[in-house]
Each structure stands twice: as structure tokens, then as C-alpha cells.
Amino acid sequence: MTNIEYKIARSKEEFEGIKDLCEDVFAIEEKELLHDLVFNSPNKEENICFYAYDKTANKYVGTVNLVVMPIRYGNVILKSAELGIVATAKDYQGRGINKKLMEIFFNKAEELGYNIIAIEGIPYFYRRYGFNYAIPMGSVNLNLDKVESKGDKDIVIRVAKEEDIAFIADNFREASKIADLCTVKGKDIIKAQMLDYISPVIRKKYLIIKKNQTKIGYLALNSGDEVQICDISDNLSFKIYEAVIDYFKGQGKSFINIDIPRESKFIKLMDRYGCNWKQWYSWQIKILDEFKFLTDIKSVLEERLNNSIYKDEQVEFYYDNFRELIKFEIDNGRINLIKEERKEAKWDFNLNPQGAIKLFLGEKSRSEINSFLPDCNVNHRYRDLINILFPRMNSHFYMNY
């Protein structure tokens, strides 16, 4: 299709044309979302909007977007991005436009040093591009009519102000420690979510929890008439969390939806009410370069090693991902990684891409993966060591743009 050209948007005219495309394909919310990502986001200089343009018809016909999305793995911050808004004009679908845009997207992401790409998209549709389910998404629904009011009357909840942002950022940093693997956000993102964004998809309402005139916590709500808690301090007492529930009962709300890490204390209170956390979806992840990823998280692997019986041992094994061979040299708690020529008979541990995503990001254990992906194998001599290096992890992706 020689009439189609592929570019990165830089001018206001280009962005306006792509915004109109998003509205045509989806709805006004997606148009507003793109506006926020390219004009209002603290990361607007790093977010990238790729597009396809039909020169003959003078029309924007496709777009994919790279959205900055840093992820914390243990104590390491990984340079990561979301494959954001993906849209192709209805009468141009099935012509390979999206495929070409994706190719350009991945090449640019790799060039810029991104190695983890995430998408919250159609189940299995993006597997063709190397994405696999990795980060469970779930929530709890609480029927407030079945909950007795018994909160602390000294608790006051008010709408957060700009001067509360530093307090919220510090509290978020502490609350997010409940997850071994999570997205991260700082004061600039919190400010944008609270004050700058126009899109209900990413605009948040932050509330401050006070006791005896002292700020003790916060919570964040998704936009909309329904109460959807997407973030809350994790160091409060059950009594204070009950006061939060009373606050929404007092507003005449009948239900609240809670989308926070499964191990959070507030979720434990929901367990006491008989409300179960239910998984309804999963983030899909693509690792562009496994050797680079393993190198980036090496300090976390070494910490796990040094907290195990292998801290004073010397071990070597070969990992085969069906594309390349990676040698692990372990020596007294230190790990050296070496790329070697791939030889079929020379492996101790192999994973296909689906298994690698699930093991390395801690969604499944080695034995769980082997139960449904039989071509993912570990030599029995190294099973215990692999379990130590790659345990199951608590994970949660907060919205961080």
C-alpha cells in the first residue's frame, strides 16, 4: 500500500487528526485520553504517537501509542512502556496497517531502551505479537447495605488539595510495597491525575483521611458515579477502614468496587465481610530481550540467592528460550550471565515465551507452569534453585500515567 505513510506525530495538526480517528473508532473518552497523554501528561515528551496516513484520501487511518509506564521489580525500576491506544479506521482494517505500526512501535521501543511492554487489551488477540498473560487483574465488590456502620466518628475524609500531593506520594510509596512487582508513580503523575487530566479514563479523585486534625492516609477513586477505589493507604487500622466504608454509606452509595493489591489490609477486611477477590482479566506482557531483562533484575536474583542455602555455592546451568542460550554462573552469591551459541542438547532449563513471562514475573511457579506447558522443563538437579531465583510474586499494576 504505497499510498500509506507511517510517521511519529509531532505537530498539533497531526495530533488533532489522530484524536478524531480515536473518536471515530472508539468514543469521545479515547479522544480525551489521547489529548491528555500528548498534552497534559508529565511524560508527554516521552510518550510517542505513531500513525498511518493515507496520502491519497488525505486521512489518518491508524495509530498505536507508546506510553511511559515504569515498573518496579523488587527494588529495581525497569524501563517499561504500555502499548496504549491502538486504533485502525474501520474501512482500513485487515490491510496490514496495524501490523506495520506494531513493527515500528517495537523497533522504536527497543531503540529507546524499553524492554518490558504491557497491554490491557483483547484477550489473546495480541499473542501474535508476543504478548502473554502475566499480571492478574481483579477486584472486590462490597454491598454496603449488608455492612453495619461502626466506624470511628473522629475520622474526617475530605477531598485532597494540591498541597496534599507530597503526602499522597509518600503514602503510595509505602502502600505499594505490598507488591513485589508493580507500576510506580510520583508526585507529577498524582498531580496530573488529580488536577490536569480531562479524560475520565485516567483522571482520579483523591481523598485525605484525617484523625484529630492529622492526616493519616489517603485513597483514590476512579472517575464516575460508581465508587471504585483504586488506591488506599495500607497502614491503617480496620476501624479506620470501616470509617471509610461509613463515609460512602453516608453518601447514599450501595456498592463499592475495590481494585487494589490482593494482599492489601483493606482487602483482608473485605475477606472478613465474606467478599472474595475475583480475577476478571490480566495484563499482557512482552519482554523484548530476555538476556537484558535477566541482567536488569540480576541484583534481585542475587538477593534471593543470598537469602538461601545457595549463598556460598558454585553452580552453573544453561537456560534455553528456544532462540538463544544463556549461561548462569553462580559463585558465592554473585551471578554472571553469558550468551552462548544455542545447541539443542545443551540445556538444563528451558521455557517458551509464555512460560518465561509467567515464571520471571512471578505469576506461576515452575511446577505450575510445567503442569500446563509440558515443553517448559528443568533438570531435577536445578529445580530447587530455580524455585529460589524465581518465586511466585505479589503483583499489581496501578494506573501510573
CATH code, domain carrying 58: 3.40.630.30
Residues 6+ apart with CB under 8 A from 339: 291, 324, 325, 326, 327
**Euclidean distance between CA atoms 308 and 327, whole angstroms:** 21
Does 128 map to a domain?
Answer: no
DSSP element (H, E) containing 168: helix 165-175
Does 329 map to a domain?
Answer: yes
Q: What is the pLDDT of residues 141-190, one digit of tens each?
A: 999 988 887 767 889 999 999 999 999 999 999 999 999 999 999 999 99
Same-domain check for residues 254 and 296: no
**Euclidean distance between CA atoms 115 and 111, whole angstroms:** 10
Q: What is the pLDDT of residues 262-315, one digit of tens each?
A: 999 999 999 888 888 888 888 999 999 999 999 999 999 999 999 999 999 999
**Euclidean distance between CA atoms 283 and 106, whole angstroms:** 18
**What is the predicted pLDDT for the residue at 172?**
96
Same-domain check for residues 354 and 314: yes
> What's this model's pTM, rounded to 2 decimal places?
0.93
**Euclidean distance between CA atoms 69 and 78, whole angstroms:** 9
**Euclidean distance between CA atoms 19 and 377, whole angstroms:** 47
Q: What is the pLDDT of residues 43-52, one digit of tens each?
A: 999 999 999 9
Residues 6+ apart with CB under 8 A from 39: 15
CATH of the domain at 354: 3.30.1050.10
DSSP element (H, E) containing 67: strand 59-68
Domain span at 198: 139-280
| Residue keyed to cell 507452569 | 369
Same-domain check for residues 156 and 264: yes
CB atoms within 10 A of CB 12: 10
Residue 1 pLDDT > 90:
no
- Counted residue by residue, the chain has a size of 401
